[in-house]
Amino acid sequence: MAIERQGPGKIIGTRGYTGKVISIDIDTVRFPDGSTGQLEMVRHPGASAVVPLLGDLDDDPEVLLIRQYRYAADGYLYEIPAGRLDAGEEPLACAHRELKEETGYTASRVEHLFTMFTTPGFTDEKIHLFMATGLEAGEWKREADEFMELAPTKLSRALSMIEQGEIQDAKTALALLYTAGFRLN
Pick the catalytic residue: 40, 89, 146, 163? 146
Tell me, yes or no, if 146 is annotated catalytic. yes
In sequence order, the β-bridge partners of residue 28 are 12, 38
Contact 43, 25 (CB under 8 A): yes
First to last CA, the chain: 51
In whole angstroms, give the CA distance from residue 39 to residue 114: 27
H or E element that contains 38: strand 36-43
- Catalytic residue list: 146
